[in-house]
Amino acid sequence: MDLGELLRATARVPVAEAARRYAAAGVPVFPLVPGGKRPLTEHGFHDASTDWRQIAAWWSRWPGANLGVPTGAAGGVDVVDVDVHPSGSGFAAFERARRAGLVDGWAVLVRTPSGGLHAYYPADPGRPQPSWQAAKAHVDFRGAGGYIVAPPSTVTTGQGRRLYHVVAVTAGESGAVDAAALREFLDPRPAPSARSWPGRELDAGRLAGWVAARGEGERNRGLFWASCRLAEAGLSPAEAHTVLGAAAEHAGLPAPEIAATIRSAYRAVTALPVTTPRGAAPEDALAARPDRLASAAL
């Protein structure tokens, strides 16, 4: 698939036709609310499809729907999202990253309705990179566990309806972006050190990896359990979000739900101490006490 040619070819066609062309090129799509970014299907980007019959049915039901594409290996693209908000712009940070050689290799640049930018990169299926946000830099990364609104969608802003449109296609070879290096450059933070709770040492990296691997039906409970462990180990709620936020996004949880679950876990720990038997694995403790953890969250 030539991503640049695909986006150029769909720039001036109706969204329903663009969805069909994306799917024909092997890029799964799903519908979003007309003029907005929220998925219309029950499972959001998890419902993305290349089946032309399904796509025809969606756009027959919602003829004004916008076009969503899952990011990461699912959609074949990773996207660096440069935001422009009243609180600030990400262009200065993106330029610093460009000078540092961290955002070279883009395949397509798309101007967003806010005046921001989506830089598209080919996703490496052998190296999934979870989505994250660098709020202070006003730059987000859309990889595994995320999605983007794709051209020729339009979004309603304070200035009316604005289009996602292609502004540049690389003439050279495109390549994957190193999302972890970019995040460290934009939002450097000390690596969480191992902390301990009674009878056990906390490995924050292992805990985050365990959360990232939770499937549907286990994600909230797993994040809650892991947040309790960090609270017991003495990490602040902000540190817990640093350790677990990107992992929970990778598992498929939206940012507001992640923040609410971490807050709930910290409230629960202050009200009901939860301890882990010496040597027990996270999976064992979680499976053994779901009722207690659920009641503590209320």
Please tell me the pTM assigned to this model: 0.66
* Tens-digit pLDDT profile for residues 224-265: 988 988 888 888 888 888 888 888 887 788 888 898 999 988
Q: What is the dihedral of CA 145, 254, 246, 240, to 10 degrees?
A: -160
Higher pLDDT, 156 or 63: 63
- Structural domains in the chain, CATH included, are 3-186 (3.30.2250), 195-297 (no CATH)
Q: Check if the beta carbon of residue 132 is closer than 8 Å to that of residue 183.
A: yes
pLDDT of 162 above 50: yes
- Distance between CA 147 and CA 5 in Å, rounded? 20
* DSSP symbols for 6-42: HHHHTTTS-HHHHHHHHHHTT--BEEE-TTS-SB-ST
Question: Can you tell me the mean pLDDT for 55-66?
Answer: 96
| pLDDT value for 203 | 67
Residue 288 scores a pLDDT above 50: no
Average pLDDT, stretch 130-149?
91
For residues 77 and 71, is the Cβ–Cβ distance under 8 A?
yes
> At residue 199, does pLDDT exceed 50?
no
Confidence grade of residue 280 (pLDDT, cut at 50, 70, 90): very low
